[in-house]
Amino acid sequence: MNFIDNFFAKYSQEQIIKWFKQICVAEAISCFLLYCIAMVWKRYDSEGLLPTVFIIIIGNIHGLFFTGYLLLLIPARKIYTWDDEDTVFALLSAFFPFATIWVDKKLAQFNREE
Protein backbone atom coordinates (compact mmCIF):
# COMPACT_ATOMS: atom_id res chain seq x y z
CA MET A 1 0.00 0.00 0.00
CA ASN A 2 2.96 2.28 0.51
CA PHE A 3 3.69 2.01 -3.21
CA ILE A 4 0.17 3.19 -4.07
CA ASP A 5 0.39 6.08 -1.58
CA ASN A 6 3.72 7.14 -3.05
CA PHE A 7 2.39 6.91 -6.59
CA PHE A 8 -0.64 9.14 -5.91
CA ALA A 9 1.31 11.59 -3.71
CA LYS A 10 2.44 13.58 -6.74
CA TYR A 11 -1.16 14.37 -7.76
CA SER A 12 -3.42 16.94 -6.14
CA GLN A 13 -6.48 15.93 -4.16
CA GLU A 14 -8.73 17.61 -6.72
CA GLN A 15 -7.21 15.51 -9.50
CA ILE A 16 -7.65 12.27 -7.54
CA ILE A 17 -11.25 13.17 -6.70
CA LYS A 18 -11.93 13.91 -10.38
CA TRP A 19 -10.41 10.58 -11.41
CA PHE A 20 -12.32 8.69 -8.72
CA LYS A 21 -15.67 10.16 -9.78
CA GLN A 22 -14.93 9.45 -13.44
CA ILE A 23 -13.86 5.88 -12.75
CA CYS A 24 -17.03 5.24 -10.71
CA VAL A 25 -19.20 6.22 -13.67
CA ALA A 26 -16.99 4.46 -16.23
CA GLU A 27 -17.06 1.22 -14.23
CA ALA A 28 -20.86 1.32 -14.09
CA ILE A 29 -21.18 2.05 -17.82
CA SER A 30 -18.79 -0.75 -18.75
CA CYS A 31 -20.72 -3.06 -16.43
CA PHE A 32 -23.94 -2.14 -18.25
CA LEU A 33 -22.32 -2.77 -21.64
CA LEU A 34 -20.95 -6.10 -20.48
CA TYR A 35 -24.03 -7.48 -18.72
CA CYS A 36 -26.91 -5.96 -20.65
CA ILE A 37 -25.57 -5.79 -24.19
CA ALA A 38 -22.58 -8.06 -24.72
CA MET A 39 -23.85 -11.06 -22.76
CA VAL A 40 -27.37 -10.82 -24.20
CA TRP A 41 -25.97 -10.50 -27.71
CA LYS A 42 -23.76 -13.53 -27.09
CA ARG A 43 -26.78 -15.49 -25.85
CA TYR A 44 -28.78 -14.80 -29.03
CA ASP A 45 -25.88 -15.26 -31.45
CA SER A 46 -23.68 -17.85 -29.79
CA GLU A 47 -22.04 -18.95 -33.04
CA GLY A 48 -21.16 -15.47 -34.29
CA LEU A 49 -17.66 -14.06 -34.18
CA LEU A 50 -18.69 -10.43 -33.67
CA PRO A 51 -20.42 -10.94 -30.30
CA THR A 52 -17.42 -12.91 -29.08
CA VAL A 53 -15.01 -10.14 -30.05
CA PHE A 54 -17.33 -7.52 -28.53
CA ILE A 55 -17.60 -9.37 -25.22
CA ILE A 56 -13.81 -9.82 -25.05
CA ILE A 57 -13.17 -6.13 -25.70
CA ILE A 58 -15.84 -4.88 -23.30
CA GLY A 59 -14.72 -7.43 -20.69
CA ASN A 60 -11.15 -6.17 -20.85
CA ILE A 61 -12.25 -2.55 -20.62
CA HIS A 62 -14.47 -3.36 -17.65
CA GLY A 63 -11.57 -5.14 -15.97
CA LEU A 64 -9.39 -2.09 -16.48
CA PHE A 65 -11.99 0.22 -14.92
CA PHE A 66 -12.59 -2.25 -12.07
CA THR A 67 -8.88 -2.32 -11.27
CA GLY A 68 -8.66 1.46 -11.52
CA TYR A 69 -11.56 1.80 -9.09
CA LEU A 70 -9.86 -0.47 -6.58
CA LEU A 71 -6.57 1.43 -6.90
CA LEU A 72 -8.21 4.85 -6.53
CA LEU A 73 -10.17 3.65 -3.52
CA ILE A 74 -7.04 3.87 -1.35
CA PRO A 75 -6.33 7.59 -1.82
CA ALA A 76 -10.07 8.36 -1.85
CA ARG A 77 -10.36 6.87 1.64
CA LYS A 78 -7.78 9.34 2.93
CA ILE A 79 -9.26 12.32 1.09
CA TYR A 80 -12.84 11.70 2.22
CA THR A 81 -11.72 10.46 5.69
CA TRP A 82 -13.76 7.29 5.48
CA ASP A 83 -13.82 4.99 8.46
CA ASP A 84 -13.37 1.24 8.08
CA GLU A 85 -17.08 0.60 7.55
CA ASP A 86 -17.30 3.09 4.68
CA THR A 87 -14.15 1.70 3.08
CA VAL A 88 -15.40 -1.89 3.22
CA PHE A 89 -18.74 -0.80 1.78
CA ALA A 90 -17.00 1.04 -1.07
CA LEU A 91 -14.79 -2.00 -1.67
CA LEU A 92 -17.75 -4.37 -1.78
CA SER A 93 -19.61 -1.98 -4.08
CA ALA A 94 -17.12 -2.79 -6.80
CA PHE A 95 -18.49 -6.34 -6.95
CA PHE A 96 -22.15 -5.38 -7.43
CA PRO A 97 -23.45 -3.94 -10.70
CA PHE A 98 -23.93 -0.17 -10.71
CA ALA A 99 -23.11 0.21 -6.99
CA THR A 100 -20.14 2.44 -7.81
CA ILE A 101 -22.63 5.10 -8.93
CA TRP A 102 -24.04 5.07 -5.41
CA VAL A 103 -20.52 5.40 -3.98
CA ASP A 104 -19.94 8.38 -6.27
CA LYS A 105 -23.20 10.12 -5.35
CA LYS A 106 -23.54 9.34 -1.64
CA LEU A 107 -20.28 8.18 -0.09
CA ALA A 108 -17.84 10.41 -1.99
CA GLN A 109 -18.98 13.68 -0.43
CA PHE A 110 -17.19 15.88 2.03
CA ASN A 111 -20.23 17.04 4.01
CA ARG A 112 -22.11 13.81 4.57
CA GLU A 113 -24.70 13.62 7.30
CA GLU A 114 -23.83 10.81 9.66
Give residue-wise pLDDT tens across range 61-104: 999 999 999 999 999 999 998 889 989 999 999 999 889 999 98
Q: For residue 69, which of 44, 43, 98 has the smallest C-alpha distance? A: 98
The Cα–Cα gap between 20 and 90 comes to: 12
pLDDT above 70: residue 113:
no
pLDDT above 80: residue 56:
yes
Chain centroid, CA 114 distance in Å: 24
**10 backbone dihedrals φ, ψ, rounded to 5°:** -80, -5
pLDDT value of position 114: 53
pLDDT value of position 14: 92
Q: Where are the domains of the chain?
A: 21-108
pLDDT value of position 1: 66
